[in-house]
Amino acid sequence: MTTPPVTPTPVTPPPVTPTPVTPPPVTTSTPEEGPALTTHLYALESESVRLERFTRRGGAIENMGDDLLVVMPKGRFAMVFRDGAVEYLDGNVPMNEASLEEHEDYDNPTFDPSAFRVADILLKELEEGRYELFATHHYFTGTCIRFRLSSTTILRDEESVKILPGWRTIFDAEPCLPLLGFIGFTGDQAGGKMLTDGADHLLAIIGGHGIDGWRGRPTFDPDVHLGKLLRIAIETGEAEVLAIGFRNSQGLVRDADGNLWAPDHGPRGGDELNLLERGGNYGWPLVTYGVKYSGEVPPNMEDEEVGRHDGFLRPAFAWVPSPALSAIAVNDEKQFPLWKDDLLIASLKDRSLFRVRRHGTDVQYVERIEVGYRIRDLTFMPDGRMALLSDGAQVTFLSRSPRYCDEESRNRRDVYSINCESAPALPPPDSPDTEYTGPAVPSGSGNPDTDTAAGDQLFGVQCSTCHDLNAERHGPGPHLVGVIGRRAGEVEGYRFSAAFDSLDVVWTRNSITRFLTDPERFAPGTSMSSHGIGEAEARAIADYLNSLNHLSRLVRDSQPAISSDFDVYLSENALVYVKEPCAPADTEAMFFLALYPVDVNALPDHRQPHGFDNLDFEFYWFGGVFDGRCTATVPLPKYAISKISTGQYVPVEGGFNHIWEGEIRLEQ
């Protein structure tokens, strides 16, 4: 399908309604430390600054030197300074909302005023301390709503930031949207992201506002500016259409090679990352990988066309399900050199960042980084920090975390830490003879978060490419859910090599450590090559995998804790006892699981009450006999248990000798 012809549209700037002035309060705050974020290559620290509560969604951010200019959805501005101070500025974006609120249709339930908002801001430095400020936003004309590009001047000196009055209208998109009707106002599909294009032009990608061919004129119409990438002359407002076929692109960025990238917020299952070409047609609303939010077939498509993208330019990458993509930025490498040239894309519904690794214009992989809130906009600060604006009226700064450093690993190459010299020393491993071959791996502190943090990061770097922590899928290697206590070479749905078929080993912390340190020696003929993982790193990964085991967490947190040369693991519906090194084959021992049920009547039919009269009748045991190897397995009944005792008895003359026992209290 060919691209319809488009005609540049000259615009006569309409008058602008004067903007009411709001006194600018200044608040000084200490940025709130947020949770650390785990990524494939970095640990991130976060600090957040709270703004006044937003009454709708929207807004944008733009860095101004070391500080951040914020526009709120209703057009109010604030400066967020590096020290955490927030200053609210005079001079709102001109939207004429007061007149809109007086209109007779404003309270009509079919009109959504929360979608009437500012979409983006852009600063162009004219000279030191003087900027031209651009804003894309909605404007009420008195009868209908336009999507508008306006500008004014910002002055900054050492004492103040001033937005000058006299906003100028540069461009109005066609058509002007009615508040109600079959093609009513759908402002949440505004798009509106901007870039400079030389000294005299801006690029703006404008959303379809619901004029998508499903309910009215398609955005292919040359007289419609919506759903298009425009090149707009700053002085005259003349608009050239560069590309068409977009639904709701809320991001636009240019990479170091000059390529333009834009995520498009599609329908259900139709979010896209597009590499933009002049004259390109990206197909909306005639093609999409998505469907209507109701699950129905889009009305412009035949059944056999659903979920395809034939006949138009295809995206570089698409998401199913849709994460609700918003803004996009290119990593500038100052804080994150291992993310060189990566694209960072924000999301709303998914509350995540997506890191897109590419080679030129080819996407290699996409990493999801969960942040926990809706991200409306993002940018990189001059010092390399990433700034995020949330729909929850919060600005968050992400930086590289100075972690995993101690005296032994300072000055070494460390992918995790930005500055080992300034990082506090962490506790060394238990053994003073441990050979350090990489980042320090603390252990033995008793704090689960501290003990497993290094292993979590090392797993992400060394293991996650091949092994998943989702039991429903395998990667190139088997999933590792419940691997501790699992027999090597035995997991449903994965075909192991002959090297593992011949092993008679249960995965424990020790056996995983030995395998990661020297795979070929542990399992001769294995296809897994050595990654140069040292013993300390391997132990940290093994401890992390062990921490994911439900029973292991209970053992670690229980009082009194089990202490023995036997480890106890939960594998599916059985307890697995492991002794390393193995007991002699002629050692006959019995392992027991003693259950204290919440409800005696809920016990299974195969229960075995303990045979001693002086014990509580509600004490039941399930035995497993040691088989001359390293393990014994005890089935775990499925019912509510108040606590478990585990132990081992070794036969002596006249009976069994109690070696050890510990108690685990289960959560209700």
361 domain-assigned: yes
Task: Looking at the structure, tell me whether residues 51 and 153 fall in a common domain.
Answer: yes
Among 243, 306, 248, 307, smallest CA distance to 275 is for: 243
Task: Looking at the structure, tell me whether residues 537 and 563 fall in a common domain.
Answer: no
pLDDT of residue 34: 72
Of the candidates 520, 548, 576, which is a domain's last residue? 548
Kindly state the average pLDDT of the residues 332-337. 82
Kindly state the average pLDDT of the residues 63-73. 95
- Above pLDDT 90, what percent of the chain? 38
553 domain-assigned: no
Task: Looking at the structure, tell me whether residues 512 and 488 fall in a common domain.
Answer: yes
Q: In whole angstroms, what is the distance from residue 554 CA to residue 667 CA?
A: 9
Cβ contacts of 336 within 8 Å, gap of 6 or more: 41, 42, 342, 384, 400
pLDDT of residue 630: 54
Q: In whole angstroms, what is the distance from residue 493 CA to residue 474 CA?
A: 8
- Confidence check: pLDDT of 574 > 70: no
Secondary structure of residue 149 in the 3-state scheme? strand
- Confidence check: pLDDT of 16 > 80: no
Strands (E), 287-402: 317-319, 325-330, 343-347, 352-359, 362-370, 375-380, 386-390, 394-400
Of the candidates 507, 523, 548, which is a domain's last residue? 548
Task: Looking at the structure, tell me whether residues 537 and 643 fall in a common domain.
Answer: no
Domains in the chain: how many in total?
3
Task: Looking at the structure, tell me whether residues 471 and 450 fall in a common domain.
Answer: yes
Q: In this structure, what CATH number is given to the domain that contains residue 336?
A: 2.120.10.30
Residue 523's pLDDT band, with cuts at 50, 70 and 90, is: confident
- Confidence check: pLDDT of 623 > 90: no
69 domain-assigned: yes
- Confidence check: pLDDT of 38 > 60: yes
- Confidence check: pLDDT of 59 > 90: yes
Task: Looking at the structure, tell me whether residues 358 and 495 fall in a common domain.
Answer: no
Average model confidence (pLDDT) for the chain? 75
Task: Looking at the structure, tell me whether residues 339 and 475 fall in a common domain.
Answer: no
578 domain-assigned: yes
- Confidence check: pLDDT of 517 > 70: yes
Map 456-518 to HEC letters: HHHHHHHCCCCCCCCCCCCCCCCCCCCCCCCECCCCCCCCCCHHHHCCCCECCHHHHHHHHHC
Long-range contacts, 296-302 (Cβ 8 Å, 24+): 298/214, 298/267, 299/214, 300/213, 300/214
Contact 633, 576 (CB under 8 A): yes
pLDDT tens digits, 111-133: 888 899 999 999 999 999 999 99
Name the token pair of 597.
Answer: 């049920």
Task: Looking at the structure, tell me whether residues 362 and 494 fall in a common domain.
Answer: no
Task: Looking at the structure, tell me whether residues 515 and 660 fall in a common domain.
Answer: no
pLDDT of residue 527: 74
7 domain-assigned: no
Domain containing 100 equals: 26-400
pLDDT tens digits, 320-332: 989 999 999 999 7
pLDDT of residue 484: 74
Name the token pair of 167.
Answer: 């906003």
Task: Looking at the structure, tell me whether residues 535 and 573 fall in a common domain.
Answer: no
pLDDT of residue 429: 29
506 domain-assigned: yes
- Confidence check: pLDDT of 583 > 70: no
Q: In this structure, what CATH number is given to the domain that contains residue 591?
A: 2.60.40
pLDDT of residue 245: 92
Task: Looking at the structure, tell me whether residues 507 and 580 fall in a common domain.
Answer: no
Length of the chain: 668
- Confidence check: pLDDT of 430 > 70: no
Kindly state the average pLDDT of the residues 454-467. 78
5 domain-assigned: no
